[in-house]
Structure 1
């Protein structure tokens, strides 16, 4: 399991040699591994075993906060900036013992996942002096503070591990995979620390990426095939899924009884950029579907980053999900350092960095003291719909080499507005998978408050109504 994770990170990366760190819940018995990758071989050097797991620690808090394990962890990460990490020391003192090299053991007196049917037990609840939050109940400040605390503890542990790996191996390249590697806030901290010259994280870091890694490990490790190392990486921007011709898309739209117009690709760019500049929310369906949990501009809902209402509207009226959840900016790679405190590529939305100080609008003391979620309504930067309450953003850099169409669209939006940044979120509603086909896209469009749907060279503007067919995640 962990060899597959390690292979998916190293063999897809642009490095001839690297340290590979995998962190997840559990796979076989390992929960954390350190390996050395060189040319076409990977050697696992050390492991931490179940039940001691950083992924399961984070999942235990996900459960305790009333979210679904193995899908709600990113909600905990999104909730964390609304709170204060006042329980961090309790977590590090009582729940997990971390050594100087970052290795750790959990205190299983507080957890139930090894032998029971729940993640945590009564002793865990007593430690925080509260019961587990019931799913869908209101969030209060203590929930936000607990989220902030487990996020801060996770960051501290991951940084301890990566610092020690740098000291021990003195290699410039780090590769990462496993579910915990999707914690883009922690990844941003590793990047900002600047110990490793290069960091590459597998975009499908969860178990889906294990399929890719298993094939790569067999091809290189077992069959001893020569490895061709590409200058960027070998993931093709993670656009590895199905794609559909205009004929296929048109047949699908006809079968749905859709009302559409066919335009040239240049006209599609112009009309879509104009609609975005008018604060319309657009379902954007182009080319090959993304592999992994993030939409990266081929199966995306996109919108105007300048809009103050967009973050709330997209969450509540389009995605039907919790209003506190942040959205990612898709920014032209050439312009990323003008807008965000980051100088490197982030094509897979795996690094969080702050919005540039010059683009921020500082909160007053009165605004800072507002209850967590009330801060949502305050304009924090010139791109408010992608600026989280702590001025951070989960960045996607868009590259003309891997996605020329999306790159052109953002260029056209910039020509109209002077802003090379769009809101980018996955094309789905809460509890539903990301759309794959034009039929999926049309059905999602009809069930939400999206204004425009673009599928290849076809554009639709329609009235819709929503029917809830999916279990909420």
Structure 2
């Protein structure tokens, strides 16, 4: 790094993702990710697609700058290319889909075709600047944003990069090679052939919400058998040995219709589309989930293996919505031949804001890329934080009753509460960026208690009983509790519970479907899925200091270095962002304790809970 650069003013680049789903903003300072946030956390509208005004404002305030001090603003895709794809798709399928076309066109013509003007208007309103005083507005391709978010913050000097999602402008799957500060495209698979949209089609078919319910399909899969996998391969997707694929569009309606699948899809499996929140899930539904998960695993592993052969790279980076499928990620780590795998924790569209900004930084005349340890994401702790004064003021406004625990004894006290079977809302430090709570906006419990999974699902999270919970484990104790050869700091990998910790029995094999929930399968049953797997968060020295301290305290008390960690929200609600959000969620659920910073609240000491109970009823079911 030369002296002229060191002595120059900092260079700020603002990245923005918006107008599809999960909008967000990220700010770089001299190529380092300074802060990032998703708009939903501020507006309390889950998967908010709107212009991320609150997120942009947070980033600028965190840096202590105005928008006029930003070198450039970078948007995460190219709307004109997306518009081209929309037009060509409708023309290809005409006259089918005329109703959908007529519905989509006014929105595109009014809002999205003139996106540059809309972005400038929003930035002017937010900053008070005149249009001519705004920073330059740049656009990157959607998959370039994903690829940049995957490679540049990774710990690797060189790596292959694989991006998989629903669709960007045209690309649904793309391969790249990253080398220091360079990122070069290799090949792509284009719309309508999309592994992400195939998985979303099954999400829709099984009665879950597209773009938010895919993880429910993944969680449901272990309850079933993949007896439909060959049917999917023969009728719906043709996967070549190198992983390239084509979908049979005779079964799908997402190109021109208003639904994901058509009647032929349901006839293929002998079941109609399951209505959301309708009858109980049947064994057939579980088998279908298991089948699409197996096919997805196979396709992603083949793509990654081919990329290993093509590039000779020893490391792989992943991004795009499909990269949030931790089961597929783990199969790639196990089977694709790479020595290392790094997955962008904000792999979906919100993370595109980081990639857009990084693309602009590395396209400029700037110093060579710096390698960060363990990576460049700061543990994904990139959002806002609150001082003791902020927290105390918020709690006092609610008339809350609380104790202020000295920092040196806080973790010991919370460990005691958890070991006594209490569920604790845990709110610390900077908010996470991405869909996972990683110990700063979490609900915690004791994984050793057999009834804890059902209690937290039904009375705390208000969600389906089959949904598994993730364990957080001290990194140095991982191999003692899980069959795991990798770290998973961002909860994006799965691993089997160690055989020495399992409680296997012949009776368990006779159980089917949701009956499997009744079986105590390990020494940590509340985080052991029915196939003995667990979605891990390994907490090392590069992660949260306070969360790691709590895990140490719990281990010292119980001998167990593992805690249940689920996101601090209830069904249909974004993860909490502020102390006020945390208190409302605490009061509306059966959480026993709330810990915000150094302040500890007991549910039994609070009054006026009835005023918060309607808080749950307003949430959109996902």
Sort the TM-score into its range (normalised by shorter chain): over 0.9
Corresponding residue for residue 347 of structure 1: 489
Could you tell me whether the CA contact under 8 Å between 1:40 and 1:224 is conserved in 2? Answer: no
Larger Rg: 2
Structure 2: how far apart are the matches of 1:127 and 1:206?
30
Matched position secondary structure for 1:347: coil
Corresponding residue for residue 236 of structure 2: 95
Classify 1:194/1:128 alpha carbon distance in 2 versus 1 (closer, same or farther; 3 Å).
Answer: closer
Structure 1: how far apart are the matches of 2:458 and 2:365?
51
Give a deviation string over 1:45-82, Cα, whole Å, max 9, x none: 10100000000000000000000000000000000000
The answer on 1:202 being equivalent to 2:351 is no
Classify 1:251/1:447 alpha carbon distance in 2 versus 1 (closer, same or farther; 3 Å).
Answer: same
Aligned pairs for 1:226-305 (under 5 A) are 226-305=368-447
The answer on 1:392 being equivalent to 2:533 is yes
Q: Which has the higher contact order (CA 8 A, sep 6+)?
A: 1
Structure 2: how far apart are the matches of 1:130 and 1:259?
52
Aligned pairs for 1:317-396 (under 5 A) are 317-364=459-506, 366-396=507-537
Could you tell me whether the CA contact under 8 Å between 1:276 and 1:304 is conserved in 2? Answer: yes
The Cα shift of 1:222 comes to 3.7
Matched position secondary structure for 1:381: coil
The answer on 1:30 being equivalent to 2:171 is yes
Give a deviation string over 1:99-135, Cα, whole Å, max 9, x none: 1110111000000000100000011111001101111
User: Which runs of no fewer than 5 residues in structure 1 stay unpaired?
Assistant: none
Give a deviation string over 1:390-445, Cα, whole Å, max 9, x none: 00000000123321111111111111110000000000000000001000000000
The answer on 1:124 being equivalent to 2:265 is yes
Corresponding residue for residue 4 of structure 1: 145
Selected match of 1:144 from 269, 286, 295: 286
Corresponding residue for residue 64 of structure 2: none
Corresponding residue for residue 621 of structure 2: 472
Structure 2: how far apart are the matches of 1:105 and 1:37?
27
Comparing 455-464 with 215-224, greater Cα deviation is found at 215-224
Selected match of 2:224 from 73, 80, 83: 83
Could you tell me whether the CA contact under 8 Å between 2:302 and 2:336 is conserved in 1? Answer: no
Corresponding residue for residue 585 of structure 2: 444
Give a deviation string over 1:162-197, Cα, whole Å, max 9, x none: 111112211101000000000000111111226101
Give a deviation string over 1:244-270, Cα, whole Å, max 9, x none: 000001111111111111111122111
Selected match of 1:191 from 319, 333, 339: 333
Classify 1:222/1:31 alpha carbon distance in 2 versus 1 (closer, same or farther; 3 Å).
Answer: farther
The answer on 1:174 being equivalent to 2:323 is no
Could you tell me whether the CA contact under 8 Å between 2:304 and 2:336 is conserved in 1? Answer: no
Could you tell me whether the CA contact under 8 Å between 2:193 and 2:245 is conserved in 1? Answer: yes
Selected match of 1:460 from 575, 597, 601: 601
Structure 1: how far apart are the matches of 2:481 and 2:333?
17
Structure 1: how far apart are the matches of 2:432 and 2:336?
29
User: Which runs of no fewer than 5 residues in structure 2 stay unpaired?
Assistant: 1-141
Classify 1:222/1:104 alpha carbon distance in 2 versus 1 (closer, same or farther; 3 Å).
Answer: farther
Structure 1: how far apart are the matches of 2:177 and 2:542?
30
Selected match of 2:358 from 216, 221, 225: 216
Count of equivalent residues: 472
The answer on 1:15 being equivalent to 2:156 is yes
Aligned pairs for 1:405-420 (under 5 A) are 405-420=546-561
Structure 2: how far apart are the matches of 1:359 and 1:191?
23
Could you tell me whether the CA contact under 8 Å between 2:305 and 2:336 is conserved in 1? Answer: no
Corresponding residue for residue 57 of structure 2: none
The Cα shift of 1:226 comes to 2.2
Matched position secondary structure for 1:76: helix
Structure 1: how far apart are the matches of 2:508 and 2:520?
10
Corresponding residue for residue 45 of structure 1: 186
Structure 2: how far apart are the matches of 1:423 and 1:400?
19
Give a deviation string over 1:329-362, Cα, whole Å, max 9, x none: 0000010010001122110001101000110111
Matched position secondary structure for 1:231: coil
Give a deviation string over 1:133-163, Cα, whole Å, max 9, x none: 1111210100000000000000010111111
Could you tell me whether the CA contact under 8 Å between 1:290 and 1:299 is conserved in 2? Answer: yes
